[in-house]
Chains A and B, each alone.
Chain A
């Protein structure tokens, strides 16, 4: 074995001495150091040696391997140095071949953020039909036919009883009908109103609805949950304000504002000089709604809230025209990486 190793060394260095280029060097590298190369084969033979011999020969062979590697690497460097004058320097300022990243639609981004924030607070996500019964969209929400509020929500009808939902609130009733309290849900999706298209209106938009019903849920809880949401979605420095509002399916009703980031609450054009931006309607679920859904109004209370995803996106990203969301222009979409 020792003899064999001696021969190996001798032969290797002899060959190395006569090498002329990198191709030849590569051949020698494969011959000696390749996976099935000479050194590898000699290493295999170790298994047949006696236990005393094994470590010694093993170490010697590894030493040979390291020497060969070093010699080859040095030679390779010599070749490279020789050739460096001939190969051209690449222009590393040329752009790479990039992967053209895809993007999430900004409305989807808002829905995802919102869902995640509320899931963190123990809410679960439910989906409901976009084509809805007038009963769920209005009547079960304490909005009978001929209620003046219907004027603000001009609807697309399929039949006199079936319409495109004008809000995600029908999911409040559907959820309560399908499960006993406690309830804590978020339901988001498309809604439709017969509004002519301009820079603040489109006949289709997205709403995000929330509902929590349990024993002992109060207006203070509503304030806490919404304040936390606003901090997470708009930033910790934004202030949330609660003031009375009117929606037939809640009582007391609440309107929620956040402080305007442009003027820091001092008043500017984008907040109508009030320093505040309206972001959602909310309130304590009206007892009539709980009752229609079959809940015991003596035992349970709850809060609900709803907001427009487009409105949130416009405020969060500074978008000034709602139509951009549905034009699907890549110059717009590409900005939401």
Chain B
């Protein structure tokens, strides 16, 4: 809601300067999003009189104007069509400044040197989009005077207030003035008007039939005849600029001004274009076509309410008028409409048609159902004053019996103290007085029932007040939130802050970070195209994703079932930005349709932990010489399992189509699949245009969680020394280290053994199809010091066993 300081001052006495007023209002819930002096950034603009106009150039679009600015006469080129000789206009002299245009230089146009510029409202910063012509001032303006010195105009300040959607009453000058009056205690000036009606009666001109009272609980109208449609006088145009409304003609301007003044939208019809002397408020016929004022033909449904005459629709109720009945230059008689339409239906219509107007914006939030006639009379008064129009006697005012009247609400005064956490008055008496004072300033009606009980009826324009806490908020607002104390409630809960399941996620995150990985967050919505990239067949369970019914962009149409696409995208982004060492992980949810009705109507959300590493470019530089292969990635996973106390894990060859077939693993624990890992397939890498390898893992937290060891139990340190033996064997390549390890551990089960790999080697010295594996075995007993002979014996058995099972040869 845009309005100005001077405008407000016409309705309420204001002692505060503009900035302080804005500050004070924001503490009452009306925030000024913008405060701007009216001629901000305007420099060197003076009042000039156009003394001569000559067309220049061939196109005929430009004219050379001679402008008298008292001290001298200027020659200015102007493109506007709305100028006449004798007009007073704002003209900026070369060297001056205009908002948005910057410094204005004199320049040669069509062979004529233009010494400045005649300004439009937009150029002066008064309108948000280009004005159709220049701003014509009043002829009593002091010639040659800088416009920044013009009294009552230049000292104004424009506010742009943000109005909460539950306070449509504040979408008007009177509404905001009423608030100022309430907190400042200053009187509110509601303008009064004396309407002179002629001896003709409205009922002879028109009748109104409301077919659907629920959608139009109130419909009021007046007729003014023999008026002249013309440009509004400067004072009215100026007020509209201050309100952010573009002037059109005097009739439309009056209805717009009164809407901004009172909050009641009005519409003017050309009476001569209403067929059958009858207004019918009805639902549109299905498929009924109607051309609104903006020239767009709209196809309506029965849910849209129209204002019609006996032949056709003439307005879209509460949204926009029609071309077929609009006010034109030759209009003589008008029918003024002032109604109350059902907010919900109004909102449905305007959102269905995608048509939001100042009027619909007010109707849909709920205007004062008792403000129609006042606004009507106010408009008629202005039109009567501005034109020679005659006001026909009487008002049409049809309303439903259901029309909402303010409902009385019981307010327990003790509850105010309870909700606010303070005493509103030192004594009960003072509290009561204070409450009554605040509420009467807000125009609430008050009945004192008992000592601590009031019966409060909100004014008709406050449809937002429904229950006692709504009234308490009003009291708090006017009392000032800053005057409510700050207290800390006593802690009564003994619940633990986080569950074990939440804590384990924190631990996983910390471990991955200590492995040098960076946490990322990517979008939950992805493009199904990624499944193709990942070569997942459409039957794969990861492809059964939840679809958005109304996606915003192509890139985000389904809910992710894996974090891998987001991670790959992040890796690609970093590669494209020349980052060479990339270690990323994400802990986030994936989403799956629910199978069957069990577990409720919502989809399944599963937490996943996904990580990836990639090293691009030179790997041999000083700090980063280690190679990032599958064992590096596995090392991260092992560290993670280690930190979570997960011991029984098996690494098995995997089958995911997006991993390289030979670097493709799954991890299970007690037969449950808890993770996948591997090297991203070469074709995907080249598709992503990544000059290197990417290694990925994805862990399923739900599957992983049961294996997490929650408590640390101390194990006594070994009392006896261990004995170490190294062993190198040559076996066929397909014999996995895990199998060898498993066999070694089986021998002499009474003795503790730990096995550490120190080398795996294939190549020249080893015959084709074989590999060398070298490892240390650490032997340990809890009962005694082992002897060398004992250990030698075990080593012999190990050798025999490996030979037998795997045809392993000892390497010398």
Residues of B within 8 A of A333 (CB): 518-520
Indicate with 1 or 0, residue by residue over A117-151, a CB within 8 angstroms of chain B CB atoms.
00101111101011111000000000000101101
Of the candidates B418, B497, B601, B623, the one whose C-beta lies within 8 Å of that of A125 is B497
Q: In the assembly, what is the distance between CA of A140 and CA of B622, in Å?
A: 60
Does A252 lie within 8 Å of B469, measured CB to CB? yes
Q: Which of A102, A115, A190 has the most CB of B within 10 A?
A: A102
Return the contact of A325 from the options B419, B469, B514, B521 (Cβ within 8 A).
B521
| Cross-chain contact B489 with A224 (CB below 8 angstroms) | yes
> What 0/1 pattern do residues 92 to 108 of A give for CB contact below 8 A with B?
00110111111111011
Q: Contact: B489 with A221, CB < 8 Å?
A: yes
Instruction: Assess the B489–A225 pair: CB atoms within 8 A.
Output: yes
| Contact present for B27 and A243 (CB under 8 Å) | yes
Q: Is A204 an interface residue (CB 8 A)?
A: yes
- Scan residues 394-443 of chain B and give those whose CB is less than 8 A from a CB of chain A: 418-422
- In the complex, chain B residues 484-526 whose Cβ is within 8 Å of any chain A Cβ: 484-489, 491-493, 495-499, 502, 509, 512-525
With contact pairs A98-B623, A159-B549, A330-B574 given, residues A246 and B165 touching in the complex (Cβ less than 8 Å): yes
- Interface residues on chain A, size class: 35 or more
A216 and B516 within 8 A (CB): no
Q: CB distance B584 to A328 under 8 Å?
A: yes
- Shortest distance from the beta carbon of B647 to any chain A beta carbon, whole Å: 24
A58 part of interface (Cβ distance < 8 Å) = no
A326 within 8 A of B: yes
Task: Flag if B420 contacts A331 (CB, 8 Å).
Answer: no
* Binary per-residue interface labels of chain B (562-592) against chain A in the complex, 1 for a CB within 8 Å, 0 otherwise: 0000000010011001010111100001010
- B1-51 with Cβ < 8 A to chain A: 26-29, 31, 33-35
- Give the nearest-CB partner of A275 in chain B: B23
Interface of A is mostly: mixed
Contact B579–A157 (Cβ < 8 Å): no
B29 touches A245 (CB 8 A): yes
* Chain B residues near A224 (CB-CB < 8 A): 486-489
B498 close to A95 (CB less than 8 A): no
CB < 8 Å: which of A132, A156, A225, A329 contacts B577? A329
Q: Verify A119–B498 contact, CB threshold 8 A.
A: yes
Please tell me if the beta carbons of B552 and A108 are within 8 angstroms of each other in the complex. no
Q: Kindly provide the distance from the CB of B577 to the nearest chain A CB, expressed in whole angstroms.
A: 6
Q: A218: CB under 8 A from chain B?
A: yes
| A253 at the B interface (CB under 8 A) | yes
User: What residue of chain B has the Cβ atom nearest to residue A147's Cβ?
Assistant: B165
Given contacts A162-B602, A331-B579, is CB(A253)–CB(B473) below 8 Å?
A: yes
Residues of A within 8 A of B487 (CB): 218, 220-221, 223-224
Known A-B contacts A97-B622, A133-B602, A159-B549; the reply to A124 vs B520 at CB < 8 A is no
Please indicate which of the listed interface residues B29, B164, B348, B519 has the most CB atoms of chain A within 10 Å of its own CB: B519
State A328–B612 Cα separation when bound (angstroms). 13
CB of A121 to closest CB in B, whole Å: 7
Across the interface, B486 reaches (CB within 8 A) one of A220, A243, A255, namely A220
A95 to B518, CA, bound (A): 22
Q: Is the CB of B167 within 8 A of A252?
A: no
Residue of B nearest to A157 (CB): B549
Enumerate chain B residues within 8 angstroms of A331, measured Cβ to Cβ. 577, 579
Q: Which residues of B contact A156 (CB under 8 A)?
A: 525, 548-552
| Per-residue interface assignment for chain A, residues 234 to 255, with 1 indicating a CB less than 8 Å from any chain B CB and 0 otherwise | 0000000111111010011111
Given A148-B347, A253-B473, residue A157 in contact with residue B28 (CB < 8 A): no
Nearest CB in chain B: distance from A210 CB, A: 13
Q: Does A31 reach chain B (CB closer than 8 Å)?
A: no
A-facing residues in B582-609 (Cβ within 8 Å): 582-584, 589, 591, 601-603, 605
The answer to whether A252 touches B476, judged by C-beta atoms less than 8 angstroms apart, is yes
Hey, which chain A residues are within 8 Å of B29, CB to CB? 243-246
Q: Is B213 an interface residue (CB 8 A)?
A: no
By Cβ-Cβ distance, the 3 closest A-B pairs, closest first, are: A218-B421, A220-B421, A244-B29
What are 27 sample pairs from A and B whose C-beta atoms fall under 8 A apart? A98-B623, A100-B516, A105-B519, A107-B521, A119-B497, A130-B524, A130-B605, A131-B602, A131-B603, A148-B365, A156-B525, A158-B546, A162-B603, A190-B589, A196-B552, A204-B523, A204-B525, A219-B476, A221-B487, A221-B488, A242-B481, A243-B26, A244-B476, A251-B470, A252-B469, A252-B476, A329-B574
Task: Give the A-binding residues of B (Cβ under 8 A).
Answer: 26-29, 31, 33-35, 164-167, 344, 347-348, 351, 364-365, 418-422, 467, 469-470, 472-473, 476-477, 481-482, 484-489, 491-493, 495-499, 502, 509, 512-525, 546-552, 556, 559, 570, 573-574, 577, 579, 581-584, 589, 591, 601-603, 605, 622-624
Task: Please give the residue numbers on chain A whose beta carbons come within 8 Å of chain B beta carbons, in ascending order.
Answer: 94-95, 97-105, 107-108, 115, 119, 121-125, 127, 129-133, 146, 148-149, 151-152, 156-159, 161-162, 164, 182, 184, 190, 192, 194, 196, 203-204, 212, 214, 216-221, 223-225, 227-228, 241-246, 248, 251-255, 272-274, 284, 286-287, 301, 325-331, 333-334
